[in-house]
Amino acid sequence: MEKAHKPKKVFVQGPISPDFVAKSIASHQSKTGIGAHAIFLGQIRADQKEGGVVTGIDYTAYEEMAEQAFHDIREAAFARFELTCMHIYHSLGLVPTGEISLFVFVSSPHRRAAFEASEYIVEEIKANVPIFGKELVGDAGFVWKENT
Amino acid sequence: MDDETQMSFQVKYFGMLAEIAGLSDEVWNVAGNLTVGQFRAQMLDKYPAMRDKKFKIAVNQKISEDFVSIETPAEIALLPPFAGG
């Protein structure tokens, strides 16, 4: 069997900038077999909690296990969907409300594979990657986030 | 002679569990062999505040059920609910 894709660096410190997303799109213009990109961006929401409004999330991770989990998700997605390429970035550290903490970018010859792969990848990340989030609330409070 | 071997392994804490333990990793020393479930019981004795917290235990980066035996060298991690995304 063809040896699969190299492990890639997923974690970035702090928010993912719109400029980084734009440059990622631009870097695919030479890959002319692609007909469809699907992009998912996770943004920090200003939820109302007891004690105030969420001002940001401070992310930590069991990094070695998380990198392996991201790699497994990549391999599974390439096996299930007709993808040309795939990029996943997730923040560590503080991401303020309104900023981006997750960037999933899949490219395919056709739209259906791109749509389906992006949803699959996001759901897998939420369920299976050991990332932890402390939601900062009001001036000094916090709540530990839990994916549902 | 005591034929029970001394076993030691690394334990890592994440998220709220690191806050409860007051540290992010430590070495766990025990006499003889231990399953994940026995380790969990020792852990809750040491840190009673973890009793009402949900967490999974990973052995060498693999989430493991209570019946699994811990074989050294091992890295044990206590993982609270995931929050990626």
- pLDDT tens track for A12-52: 999 999 999 999 999 999 999 999 999 999 999 999 998 89
Whether A2 has a pLDDT exceeding 70, the answer reads no
Q: Does A41 touch chain B (CB under 8 A)?
A: no
Interface of B with A in 35-64 (CB under 8 A): 58, 61
Which of B15, B82, B85 shows the shortest C-beta gap to A42? B85
Whether A143 has a pLDDT exceeding 70, the answer reads yes
Average pLDDT, chain B: 93
Interface of B with A in 5-24 (CB under 8 A): 12, 14-16
**Given this model, what pLDDT does residue B4 score?**
64
**Closest-CA residue to A103 (of A88, A124, A118, A85):** A88
Contacts of A99 in chain B (CB under 8 A): none
Q: B38-70: per-residue pLDDT in tens?
A: 999 999 999 999 999 999 999 999 999 999 999
**Given this model, what pLDDT does residue B1 score?**
45
What six digits make up the tokens of B34?
A: 């231990």
Least reliable range by pLDDT among A2-6, A98-102, B27-31, B73-77: A2-6
**How far, in Å, CA of A101 to CA of A89, rounded?**
8
ipTM at complex level? 0.93
> What residue of B is the nearest CA neighbor of A103?
B85
Q: Residue A130: is the preceding peptide bond cis (ω within 30°)?
A: no
What six digits make up the tokens of A72?
A: 């497994």
Q: Does A34 touch chain B (CB under 8 A)?
A: no
Average pLDDT, chain A: 95
Whether A4 has a pLDDT exceeding 60, the answer reads no
Whether A107 and A85 have beta carbons less than 8 Å apart is answered as: yes
Which of B14, B81, B85 shows the shortest C-beta gap to A60? B14
Nearest-5° Cα angle at A46, A43 to A49: 135
This prediction has a pTM of: 0.93
**How far, in Å, CA of A38 to CA of A77, rounded?**
14
Residue corresponding to tokens 């969420």: A54
What six digits make up the tokens of A25?
A: 């799109």
Is B83 within 8 Å of A62 when comparing Cβ atoms? no
Whether A127 has a pLDDT exceeding 70, the answer reads yes
Whether B76 has a pLDDT exceeding 70, the answer reads yes
Which of A60, A122, A130 shows the shortest C-beta gap to B85? A122
Is A145 within 8 Å of B61 when comparing Cβ atoms? no
Q: A109-120: per-residue pLDDT in tens?
A: 999 999 999 999
> pLDDT higher for B72 or A113?
A113
DSSP string over chain A: ----PPP---EEESPBPHHHHHHHHHTTTT-TT--EEEEEEEE----EETTEEEEEEEEEE-HHHHHHHHHHHHHHHHHHS--SEEEEEEEEEEEETTSEEEEEEEEESSHHHHHHHHHHHHHHHHHHS-EEEEEEETTTEEEE----
